[in-house]
Structure 1
Amino acid sequence: MRNEPVEQARRIARDRFPDALSVILAGSTASGRATASSDLDIAVLVADGAGTARETVRSEGRVVELFVHTRTGLAELFAADRASRRAVLQHMYASGLVLADPRGDAVRARALAEADLRQGPPALDPQTVETRRYSLTDALDDLADARDRFEGLAVAGYVLGAAAELLCDHHRAWTGGGKWLPRRLLEADASRGGALLDGHLRMCESGDPAPLAAAASEVLALTGGPLREGYRRTWRGVAGPLPAPGR
Protein backbone atom coordinates (compact mmCIF):
# COMPACT_ATOMS: atom_id res chain seq x y z
CA MET A 1 0.00 0.00 0.00
CA ARG A 2 1.30 3.44 -0.91
CA ASN A 3 2.22 5.76 1.93
CA GLU A 4 0.47 9.00 0.99
CA PRO A 5 2.60 11.41 3.08
CA VAL A 6 5.74 9.90 1.54
CA GLU A 7 4.25 10.15 -1.94
CA GLN A 8 3.30 13.75 -1.21
CA ALA A 9 6.90 14.49 -0.20
CA ARG A 10 8.06 12.97 -3.49
CA ARG A 11 5.68 15.22 -5.42
CA ILE A 12 6.85 18.32 -3.56
CA ALA A 13 10.50 17.48 -4.24
CA ARG A 14 9.83 16.72 -7.89
CA ASP A 15 7.79 19.88 -8.48
CA ARG A 16 9.86 22.36 -6.48
CA PHE A 17 13.36 20.89 -6.82
CA PRO A 18 13.55 18.89 -10.06
CA ASP A 19 17.35 19.23 -10.19
CA ALA A 20 18.03 18.43 -6.53
CA LEU A 21 21.22 16.54 -5.77
CA SER A 22 19.42 14.65 -3.00
CA VAL A 23 16.14 14.72 -1.10
CA ILE A 24 15.64 13.28 2.39
CA LEU A 25 12.31 12.91 4.18
CA ALA A 26 12.91 13.04 7.93
CA GLY A 27 10.94 13.45 11.14
CA SER A 28 7.92 11.50 12.29
CA THR A 29 6.72 10.64 8.78
CA ALA A 30 9.97 8.89 7.95
CA SER A 31 10.09 7.07 11.30
CA GLY A 32 6.50 5.85 11.18
CA ARG A 33 5.36 8.03 14.10
CA ALA A 34 3.33 10.51 12.05
CA THR A 35 -0.20 11.56 12.91
CA ALA A 36 -2.78 13.09 10.60
CA SER A 37 -1.54 16.57 11.52
CA SER A 38 2.21 15.84 11.32
CA ASP A 39 4.22 18.10 9.07
CA LEU A 40 6.72 16.95 6.46
CA ASP A 41 10.40 17.63 7.17
CA ILE A 42 12.32 17.56 3.90
CA ALA A 43 16.06 18.15 3.52
CA VAL A 44 17.03 19.16 0.00
CA LEU A 45 20.60 19.32 -1.27
CA VAL A 46 20.96 21.67 -4.24
CA ALA A 47 23.83 22.67 -6.49
CA ASP A 48 26.39 25.23 -5.39
CA GLY A 49 25.35 28.73 -6.34
CA ALA A 50 21.83 28.29 -5.03
CA GLY A 51 20.79 29.49 -1.59
CA THR A 52 20.81 27.79 1.79
CA ALA A 53 17.60 28.45 3.67
CA ARG A 54 14.78 27.04 5.75
CA GLU A 55 11.25 27.64 4.52
CA THR A 56 7.80 26.67 5.76
CA VAL A 57 5.07 26.15 3.17
CA ARG A 58 1.67 24.49 3.00
CA SER A 59 1.03 21.88 0.36
CA GLU A 60 -2.20 19.93 -0.14
CA GLY A 61 -3.33 21.08 3.29
CA ARG A 62 -0.18 19.86 5.06
CA VAL A 63 2.58 22.00 6.61
CA VAL A 64 5.95 21.33 5.01
CA GLU A 65 9.31 22.31 6.51
CA LEU A 66 11.95 22.63 3.80
CA PHE A 67 15.64 22.55 4.74
CA VAL A 68 17.43 23.60 1.56
CA HIS A 69 21.22 23.76 1.34
CA THR A 70 24.21 23.52 -0.94
CA ARG A 71 27.12 21.19 -0.19
CA THR A 72 28.96 24.12 1.40
CA GLY A 73 25.84 25.13 3.28
CA LEU A 74 25.33 21.61 4.59
CA ALA A 75 28.89 21.48 5.92
CA GLU A 76 28.33 24.82 7.67
CA LEU A 77 25.01 23.67 9.13
CA PHE A 78 26.56 20.44 10.37
CA ALA A 79 29.25 22.52 12.11
CA ALA A 80 26.63 24.81 13.65
CA ASP A 81 24.59 21.84 14.86
CA ARG A 82 27.68 20.31 16.46
CA ALA A 83 28.34 23.59 18.27
CA SER A 84 24.71 23.78 19.47
CA ARG A 85 25.02 20.18 20.70
CA ARG A 86 21.69 19.27 19.06
CA ALA A 87 22.71 17.78 15.69
CA VAL A 88 19.33 18.43 14.10
CA LEU A 89 20.41 17.96 10.49
CA GLN A 90 22.71 15.08 11.35
CA HIS A 91 19.76 13.18 12.78
CA MET A 92 17.69 14.03 9.70
CA TYR A 93 20.33 12.69 7.33
CA ALA A 94 21.21 9.66 9.45
CA SER A 95 17.67 8.38 9.98
CA GLY A 96 15.67 9.95 7.14
CA LEU A 97 14.15 8.24 4.11
CA VAL A 98 16.05 8.91 0.88
CA LEU A 99 13.61 10.07 -1.82
CA ALA A 100 16.17 11.09 -4.45
CA ASP A 101 19.91 10.53 -4.74
CA PRO A 102 20.99 10.47 -8.40
CA ARG A 103 24.73 10.89 -7.71
CA GLY A 104 25.20 9.43 -4.27
CA ASP A 105 25.22 12.75 -2.40
CA ALA A 106 22.72 11.53 0.19
CA VAL A 107 24.84 8.47 0.92
CA ARG A 108 27.95 10.62 1.44
CA ALA A 109 26.07 13.13 3.61
CA ARG A 110 24.60 10.29 5.67
CA ALA A 111 28.07 8.90 6.33
CA LEU A 112 29.25 12.31 7.58
CA ALA A 113 26.13 12.68 9.73
CA GLU A 114 26.58 9.24 11.26
CA ALA A 115 30.22 10.01 12.03
CA ASP A 116 29.19 13.19 13.86
CA LEU A 117 26.52 11.32 15.83
CA ARG A 118 28.96 8.60 16.86
CA GLN A 119 31.51 11.15 18.02
CA GLY A 120 28.98 13.03 20.11
CA PRO A 121 28.82 16.76 20.86
CA PRO A 122 31.78 18.79 22.08
CA ALA A 123 32.11 18.80 25.83
CA LEU A 124 31.13 21.96 27.67
CA ASP A 125 34.16 23.82 28.94
CA PRO A 126 34.75 23.65 32.73
CA GLN A 127 33.74 27.27 33.29
CA THR A 128 30.40 26.73 31.54
CA VAL A 129 29.76 23.59 33.58
CA GLU A 130 30.51 25.56 36.75
CA THR A 131 28.11 28.32 35.75
CA ARG A 132 25.38 25.80 34.98
CA ARG A 133 25.94 24.05 38.29
CA TYR A 134 25.57 27.40 40.05
CA SER A 135 22.41 28.27 38.12
CA LEU A 136 20.83 24.88 38.81
CA THR A 137 21.74 25.11 42.51
CA ASP A 138 20.09 28.54 42.67
CA ALA A 139 17.01 27.25 40.85
CA LEU A 140 16.66 24.34 43.25
CA ASP A 141 16.69 26.82 46.14
CA ASP A 142 13.94 28.77 44.38
CA LEU A 143 11.98 25.56 43.78
CA ALA A 144 12.11 24.68 47.48
CA ASP A 145 11.00 28.20 48.45
CA ALA A 146 8.25 28.61 45.85
CA ARG A 147 4.86 29.42 47.34
CA ASP A 148 3.18 30.58 44.15
CA ARG A 149 2.10 27.65 41.92
CA PHE A 150 2.83 29.47 38.67
CA GLU A 151 6.29 30.50 39.84
CA GLY A 152 6.97 26.96 41.00
CA LEU A 153 6.01 25.50 37.63
CA ALA A 154 8.16 28.04 35.81
CA VAL A 155 11.16 27.21 37.99
CA ALA A 156 10.50 23.49 37.56
CA GLY A 157 10.73 23.89 33.79
CA TYR A 158 14.09 25.60 34.19
CA VAL A 159 15.33 22.90 36.56
CA LEU A 160 14.40 20.18 34.06
CA GLY A 161 16.20 21.92 31.20
CA ALA A 162 19.30 22.82 33.21
CA ALA A 163 19.66 19.35 34.69
CA ALA A 164 19.12 17.79 31.26
CA GLU A 165 21.93 19.89 29.78
CA LEU A 166 24.34 18.88 32.53
CA LEU A 167 23.38 15.22 32.33
CA CYS A 168 23.70 15.08 28.54
CA ASP A 169 27.07 16.83 28.74
CA HIS A 170 28.25 14.33 31.35
CA HIS A 171 27.51 11.51 28.91
CA ARG A 172 28.69 13.46 25.83
CA ALA A 173 25.19 12.97 24.47
CA TRP A 174 23.19 15.16 22.10
CA THR A 175 20.52 17.44 23.53
CA GLY A 176 17.23 18.61 22.08
CA GLY A 177 14.43 21.08 22.48
CA GLY A 178 10.67 20.69 22.71
CA LYS A 179 9.54 17.09 22.20
CA TRP A 180 13.14 16.14 21.48
CA LEU A 181 14.33 17.02 24.99
CA PRO A 182 12.76 13.95 26.66
CA ARG A 183 13.78 11.72 23.75
CA ARG A 184 17.42 12.78 23.88
CA LEU A 185 17.43 12.78 27.68
CA LEU A 186 16.24 9.17 27.84
CA GLU A 187 18.75 8.17 25.17
CA ALA A 188 21.53 9.73 27.25
CA ASP A 189 20.56 8.18 30.60
CA ALA A 190 17.31 6.26 30.86
CA SER A 191 17.43 6.02 34.66
CA ARG A 192 18.42 9.55 35.67
CA GLY A 193 16.70 11.13 32.69
CA GLY A 194 13.52 9.23 33.47
CA ALA A 195 13.68 10.42 37.08
CA LEU A 196 13.93 14.04 35.92
CA LEU A 197 10.95 13.66 33.60
CA ASP A 198 8.89 11.83 36.21
CA GLY A 199 9.75 14.50 38.79
CA HIS A 200 8.72 17.28 36.44
CA LEU A 201 5.43 15.48 35.71
CA ARG A 202 4.80 15.05 39.43
CA MET A 203 5.39 18.76 39.98
CA CYS A 204 2.95 19.66 37.21
CA GLU A 205 0.28 17.25 38.42
CA SER A 206 0.46 17.67 42.18
CA GLY A 207 2.73 20.62 42.89
CA ASP A 208 5.15 18.39 44.81
CA PRO A 209 8.72 19.54 44.03
CA ALA A 210 10.51 16.81 46.00
CA PRO A 211 10.93 14.15 43.25
CA LEU A 212 12.23 16.68 40.73
CA ALA A 213 14.54 18.24 43.31
CA ALA A 214 15.92 14.81 44.22
CA ALA A 215 16.52 13.87 40.58
CA ALA A 216 18.21 17.19 39.78
CA SER A 217 20.33 16.96 42.93
CA GLU A 218 21.56 13.56 41.76
CA VAL A 219 22.64 15.14 38.47
CA LEU A 220 24.43 17.88 40.38
CA ALA A 221 26.26 15.30 42.46
CA LEU A 222 27.31 13.54 39.27
CA THR A 223 28.69 16.72 37.71
CA GLY A 224 30.54 18.36 40.60
CA GLY A 225 27.90 19.01 43.23
CA PRO A 226 25.91 22.12 44.24
CA LEU A 227 27.70 25.44 43.90
CA ARG A 228 26.94 28.55 45.91
CA GLU A 229 29.76 30.11 47.96
CA GLY A 230 32.94 30.56 45.98
CA TYR A 231 31.29 31.08 42.62
CA ARG A 232 32.72 34.14 40.87
CA ARG A 233 32.67 35.38 37.30
CA THR A 234 33.96 38.63 35.85
CA TRP A 235 31.91 40.43 33.25
CA ARG A 236 33.05 39.73 29.71
CA GLY A 237 30.38 41.55 27.75
CA VAL A 238 27.59 39.92 25.79
CA ALA A 239 29.60 36.70 25.41
CA GLY A 240 29.78 36.22 29.17
CA PRO A 241 27.94 33.46 31.05
CA LEU A 242 24.20 33.66 31.43
CA PRO A 243 22.90 34.57 34.88
CA ALA A 244 20.77 32.31 37.00
CA PRO A 245 17.01 32.38 36.29
CA GLY A 246 15.22 35.50 37.38
CA ARG A 247 18.42 37.48 37.86
Structure 2
Amino acid sequence: MNNHKRVKPFDAAKQFVDKHFPDCKGALLAGSVVRGEATDTSDLDIVIFDDKILTPFRQSMIDFDWAVEVFVHNLTSYKHFFHADFKRARPSLPRMVSEGVIIKDLGVIQKIKKEANIILSEGPEIWSSETIQFKRYFITDVLEDFIGSTNRAEELMIANTLTNLIQEFVLRSNGCWIGSSKWIIRELNNFNEEFASQFIDAFETFYKQNDKSKVIELVDEILVPYGGRLFEGFKLDA
Protein backbone atom coordinates (compact mmCIF):
# COMPACT_ATOMS: atom_id res chain seq x y z
CA MET A 1 0.00 0.00 0.00
CA ASN A 2 1.24 3.47 -0.84
CA ASN A 3 0.67 5.38 2.39
CA HIS A 4 1.40 8.75 0.80
CA LYS A 5 -1.33 8.58 -1.83
CA ARG A 6 -4.10 6.65 -0.12
CA VAL A 7 -7.48 8.11 0.76
CA LYS A 8 -7.74 10.04 4.04
CA PRO A 9 -8.87 7.88 7.00
CA PHE A 10 -12.41 9.20 7.43
CA ASP A 11 -13.09 9.30 3.68
CA ALA A 12 -11.80 5.75 3.30
CA ALA A 13 -13.91 4.60 6.24
CA LYS A 14 -17.04 6.17 4.79
CA GLN A 15 -16.44 4.60 1.39
CA PHE A 16 -15.79 1.25 3.10
CA VAL A 17 -19.09 1.40 5.00
CA ASP A 18 -21.02 2.49 1.91
CA LYS A 19 -19.52 -0.39 -0.06
CA HIS A 20 -19.69 -3.25 2.43
CA PHE A 21 -22.45 -2.29 4.89
CA PRO A 22 -24.80 0.06 3.00
CA ASP A 23 -27.84 -0.95 5.06
CA CYS A 24 -26.27 -0.68 8.51
CA LYS A 25 -27.91 1.43 11.21
CA GLY A 26 -24.71 3.03 12.39
CA ALA A 27 -20.93 3.04 11.97
CA LEU A 28 -17.97 4.51 13.83
CA LEU A 29 -14.31 5.09 12.99
CA ALA A 30 -12.14 4.47 16.05
CA GLY A 31 -8.55 3.64 16.98
CA SER A 32 -5.29 5.48 16.51
CA VAL A 33 -6.40 7.52 13.51
CA VAL A 34 -9.04 9.33 15.57
CA ARG A 35 -6.75 9.76 18.58
CA GLY A 36 -4.09 11.43 16.42
CA GLU A 37 -1.65 8.58 17.13
CA ALA A 38 -1.56 6.92 13.70
CA THR A 39 1.69 5.51 12.32
CA ASP A 40 2.58 4.22 8.86
CA THR A 41 1.34 0.77 9.88
CA SER A 42 -1.92 1.87 11.51
CA ASP A 43 -5.17 0.40 10.26
CA LEU A 44 -8.75 1.61 10.34
CA ASP A 45 -10.85 0.31 13.21
CA ILE A 46 -14.49 0.46 12.15
CA VAL A 47 -17.44 -0.55 14.33
CA ILE A 48 -20.66 -1.46 12.53
CA PHE A 49 -24.17 -1.75 13.98
CA ASP A 50 -26.52 -3.67 11.71
CA ASP A 51 -29.82 -5.11 12.92
CA LYS A 52 -29.76 -7.73 10.15
CA ILE A 53 -26.58 -9.36 11.50
CA LEU A 54 -27.39 -12.55 13.44
CA THR A 55 -23.91 -13.30 14.77
CA PRO A 56 -21.34 -10.60 15.58
CA PHE A 57 -17.95 -10.94 13.96
CA ARG A 58 -14.58 -9.31 13.44
CA GLN A 59 -12.98 -9.29 10.02
CA SER A 60 -9.68 -8.05 8.60
CA MET A 61 -9.73 -6.60 5.09
CA ILE A 62 -7.74 -4.39 2.77
CA ASP A 63 -9.67 -1.79 0.80
CA PHE A 64 -9.13 1.77 -0.41
CA ASP A 65 -5.39 1.25 0.26
CA TRP A 66 -6.04 0.71 3.97
CA ALA A 67 -5.87 -2.28 6.25
CA VAL A 68 -9.27 -2.39 7.94
CA GLU A 69 -10.37 -4.13 11.13
CA VAL A 70 -14.15 -4.18 11.15
CA PHE A 71 -16.17 -5.11 14.25
CA VAL A 72 -19.73 -5.98 13.29
CA HIS A 73 -22.62 -6.13 15.76
CA ASN A 74 -26.38 -6.13 15.76
CA LEU A 75 -28.28 -3.84 18.11
CA THR A 76 -27.96 -6.17 21.11
CA SER A 77 -24.80 -8.25 20.63
CA TYR A 78 -22.49 -5.38 21.58
CA LYS A 79 -23.93 -5.50 25.12
CA HIS A 80 -22.37 -8.94 25.70
CA PHE A 81 -18.97 -7.62 24.60
CA PHE A 82 -19.36 -4.51 26.76
CA HIS A 83 -20.00 -6.78 29.74
CA ALA A 84 -17.14 -9.16 28.90
CA ASP A 85 -14.72 -6.22 28.55
CA PHE A 86 -15.93 -4.85 31.89
CA LYS A 87 -15.34 -8.20 33.62
CA ARG A 88 -11.79 -8.55 32.25
CA ALA A 89 -11.11 -4.85 32.98
CA ARG A 90 -9.99 -4.18 29.39
CA PRO A 91 -12.64 -1.92 27.83
CA SER A 92 -11.71 -2.44 24.18
CA LEU A 93 -15.15 -2.12 22.60
CA PRO A 94 -16.53 0.52 25.01
CA ARG A 95 -13.47 2.66 24.33
CA MET A 96 -13.78 2.28 20.56
CA VAL A 97 -17.44 3.27 20.75
CA SER A 98 -16.81 6.16 23.11
CA GLU A 99 -13.96 7.71 21.13
CA GLY A 100 -15.33 6.75 17.71
CA VAL A 101 -16.15 9.37 15.12
CA ILE A 102 -19.59 8.85 13.62
CA ILE A 103 -19.52 7.71 9.99
CA LYS A 104 -23.23 6.90 9.80
CA ASP A 105 -26.09 7.10 12.28
CA LEU A 106 -29.73 6.22 11.74
CA GLY A 107 -30.64 7.00 15.34
CA VAL A 108 -28.75 4.31 17.26
CA ILE A 109 -25.26 5.63 17.96
CA GLN A 110 -25.87 8.13 20.74
CA LYS A 111 -27.60 5.54 22.95
CA ILE A 112 -24.75 3.06 22.48
CA LYS A 113 -22.15 5.77 23.10
CA LYS A 114 -23.92 6.68 26.34
CA GLU A 115 -23.74 3.06 27.50
CA ALA A 116 -20.02 2.92 26.67
CA ASN A 117 -19.31 6.18 28.47
CA ILE A 118 -21.05 4.99 31.62
CA ILE A 119 -18.90 1.84 31.69
CA LEU A 120 -15.70 3.82 31.15
CA SER A 121 -16.51 6.43 33.76
CA GLU A 122 -17.48 3.91 36.45
CA GLY A 123 -14.34 1.82 35.95
CA PRO A 124 -13.82 -1.90 36.55
CA GLU A 125 -14.94 -3.97 39.52
CA ILE A 126 -13.10 -3.24 42.75
CA TRP A 127 -10.77 -6.03 43.82
CA SER A 128 -11.65 -7.82 47.04
CA SER A 129 -9.08 -8.19 49.82
CA GLU A 130 -8.94 -11.90 48.96
CA THR A 131 -8.07 -11.13 45.33
CA ILE A 132 -5.35 -8.71 46.42
CA GLN A 133 -3.84 -11.40 48.67
CA PHE A 134 -3.97 -13.92 45.83
CA LYS A 135 -2.26 -11.53 43.39
CA ARG A 136 0.27 -10.47 46.00
CA TYR A 137 1.28 -14.09 46.53
CA PHE A 138 1.83 -14.78 42.84
CA ILE A 139 3.80 -11.56 42.31
CA THR A 140 6.02 -12.63 45.22
CA ASP A 141 6.47 -16.08 43.69
CA VAL A 142 7.50 -14.70 40.29
CA LEU A 143 9.75 -12.06 41.88
CA GLU A 144 11.61 -14.74 43.84
CA ASP A 145 12.12 -16.69 40.60
CA PHE A 146 13.44 -13.48 39.02
CA ILE A 147 15.84 -12.79 41.88
CA GLY A 148 17.17 -16.34 41.99
CA SER A 149 17.51 -17.02 38.28
CA THR A 150 20.96 -17.06 36.69
CA ASN A 151 19.76 -18.10 33.24
CA ARG A 152 19.49 -15.01 31.03
CA ALA A 153 16.91 -16.51 28.66
CA GLU A 154 14.69 -17.52 31.58
CA GLU A 155 15.17 -14.13 33.24
CA LEU A 156 13.82 -12.40 30.14
CA MET A 157 10.66 -14.49 30.22
CA ILE A 158 10.21 -14.00 33.96
CA ALA A 159 10.64 -10.24 33.54
CA ASN A 160 7.96 -10.25 30.86
CA THR A 161 5.59 -12.01 33.27
CA LEU A 162 6.40 -9.45 35.96
CA THR A 163 5.53 -6.52 33.69
CA ASN A 164 2.02 -7.91 33.27
CA LEU A 165 1.58 -8.80 36.94
CA ILE A 166 2.81 -5.39 38.10
CA GLN A 167 0.63 -3.35 35.76
CA GLU A 168 -2.40 -5.46 36.63
CA PHE A 169 -1.81 -5.16 40.37
CA VAL A 170 -1.16 -1.42 40.38
CA LEU A 171 -4.03 -0.54 38.10
CA ARG A 172 -6.67 -2.90 39.48
CA SER A 173 -5.85 -2.17 43.12
CA ASN A 174 -6.40 1.50 42.26
CA GLY A 175 -9.69 0.88 40.46
CA CYS A 176 -8.28 1.49 36.98
CA TRP A 177 -8.57 -0.32 33.66
CA ILE A 178 -5.68 -2.55 32.57
CA GLY A 179 -4.11 -3.01 29.17
CA SER A 180 -2.10 -5.40 27.04
CA SER A 181 0.80 -4.75 24.68
CA LYS A 182 1.11 -0.99 24.02
CA TRP A 183 -1.96 -0.36 26.15
CA ILE A 184 -0.03 -1.35 29.28
CA ILE A 185 1.96 1.87 29.04
CA ARG A 186 -1.05 3.91 28.00
CA GLU A 187 -3.10 2.77 30.98
CA LEU A 188 -0.18 3.31 33.36
CA ASN A 189 0.24 6.84 32.01
CA ASN A 190 -3.50 7.44 32.43
CA PHE A 191 -3.13 6.37 36.05
CA ASN A 192 0.13 8.09 36.99
CA GLU A 193 2.78 9.35 34.59
CA GLU A 194 5.47 9.37 37.28
CA PHE A 195 4.85 5.73 38.12
CA ALA A 196 4.79 4.83 34.41
CA SER A 197 8.24 6.41 34.00
CA GLN A 198 9.53 4.50 37.02
CA PHE A 199 8.11 1.26 35.60
CA ILE A 200 9.76 1.83 32.20
CA ASP A 201 13.09 2.81 33.76
CA ALA A 202 13.17 -0.27 35.99
CA PHE A 203 12.72 -2.71 33.12
CA GLU A 204 14.95 -0.78 30.71
CA THR A 205 17.70 -0.94 33.32
CA PHE A 206 17.28 -4.69 33.59
CA TYR A 207 17.11 -5.32 29.84
CA LYS A 208 20.05 -3.05 28.98
CA GLN A 209 22.33 -3.54 31.98
CA ASN A 210 21.20 -6.88 33.42
CA ASP A 211 20.59 -5.01 36.67
CA LYS A 212 17.58 -6.37 38.56
CA SER A 213 17.70 -3.94 41.47
CA LYS A 214 15.19 -1.39 40.18
CA VAL A 215 12.63 -4.06 39.27
CA ILE A 216 12.97 -5.59 42.74
CA GLU A 217 12.61 -2.16 44.37
CA LEU A 218 9.55 -1.42 42.24
CA VAL A 219 7.79 -4.63 43.21
CA ASP A 220 8.56 -4.16 46.89
CA GLU A 221 7.31 -0.57 46.71
CA ILE A 222 3.92 -1.53 45.27
CA LEU A 223 3.46 -4.39 47.74
CA VAL A 224 4.34 -2.43 50.90
CA PRO A 225 0.87 -0.85 51.37
CA TYR A 226 -0.64 -4.36 51.30
CA GLY A 227 1.83 -6.00 53.68
CA GLY A 228 4.81 -6.65 51.42
CA ARG A 229 5.80 -9.94 49.87
CA LEU A 230 3.57 -12.87 50.76
CA PHE A 231 4.54 -16.52 51.08
CA GLU A 232 4.26 -17.94 54.58
CA GLY A 233 0.69 -18.66 55.57
CA PHE A 234 -0.84 -18.29 52.14
CA LYS A 235 -3.42 -20.99 51.47
CA LEU A 236 -5.33 -21.68 48.27
CA ASP A 237 -8.13 -24.22 48.39
CA ALA A 238 -8.18 -26.83 45.63
| TM-score (normalised: structure 1) | 0.89
Structure 2 counterpart of 1:231, from 225, 229, 234: 234
Q: Relative to structure 2, which stretch is displaced further, 84-93 or 48-57?
A: 48-57
Structure 2 counterpart of 1:51, from 33, 49, 55: 55
Unaligned runs of 5+ in 1: 236-247
- Provide the residue aligned with 1:12 in structure 2: 16
Q: What is the CA–CA distance in structure 1 between the aligned matches of 2:121 and 2:25, rounded to whole Å? A: 25
Q: How do 1:1-247 residues align onto structure 2 when only pairs under 5 Å count?
A: 4-47=8-51, 49-103=53-107, 105-235=108-238
One-letter amino acid of the counterpart of residue 181, structure 1: I
One-letter amino acid of the counterpart of residue 27, structure 1: G
Q: What is the CA–CA distance in structure 2 between the aligned matches of 1:48 and 1:206, rounded to whole Å? A: 57
Q: What is the CA–CA distance in structure 1 between the aligned matches of 2:227 and 2:100, rounded to whole Å? A: 38
Q: What is the CA–CA distance in structure 2 between the aligned matches of 1:216 and 1:192, rounded to whole Å? A: 12
Deviation by residue 1:202-231 (Cα, 9 ceiling, x = unmatched)? 211211111112112111123442110011
- Offset at 1:3? 6.6
Maintained 8 Å contact 2:13/2:44: yes
- Offset at 1:122? 0.6
Maintained 8 Å contact 1:45/1:70: yes
Q: Relative to structure 2, which stretch is displaced further, 21-30 or 2-11?
A: 2-11
Runs of 4+ in 1 over 3 A off after TM superposition: none
Local SS of the residue matching 1:18: coil
- Offset at 1:18? 0.7
- Offset at 1:188? 1.7
Q: What is the CA–CA distance in structure 2 between the aligned matches of 1:163 and 1:182, rounded to whole Å? A: 12
Q: What is the CA–CA distance in structure 1 between the aligned matches of 2:14 and 2:227, rounded to whole Å? A: 50
**RMSD of aligned Cα (Å):** 1.7
Question: What percentage of residue pairs aligned between the two structures are identical?
Answer: 27
Q: What is the CA–CA distance in structure 1 between the aligned matches of 2:49 and 2:168, rounded to whole Å? A: 31
Taking structure 1 as reference, are residues 36 and 192 closer, same or farther at Cα in structure 2, changes over 3 Å only?
closer
Alignment size in residue pairs = 233
- Provide the residue aligned with 1:245 in structure 2: none
Q: What is the CA–CA distance in structure 2 between the aligned matches of 1:222 and 1:61, rounded to whole Å? A: 52
Q: What is the CA–CA distance in structure 2 between the aligned matches of 1:67 and 1:180, rounded to whole Å? A: 19
Maintained 8 Å contact 2:7/2:64: no
| TM-score (normalised: structure 2) | 0.92
- Offset at 1:88? 0.5
Deviation by residue 1:113-144 (Cα, 9 ceiling, x = unmatched)? 11111100012333332221111111111111
Taking structure 1 as reference, are residues 3 and 62 closer, same or farther at Cα in structure 2, changes over 3 Å only?
closer
Local SS of the residue matching 2:235: coil
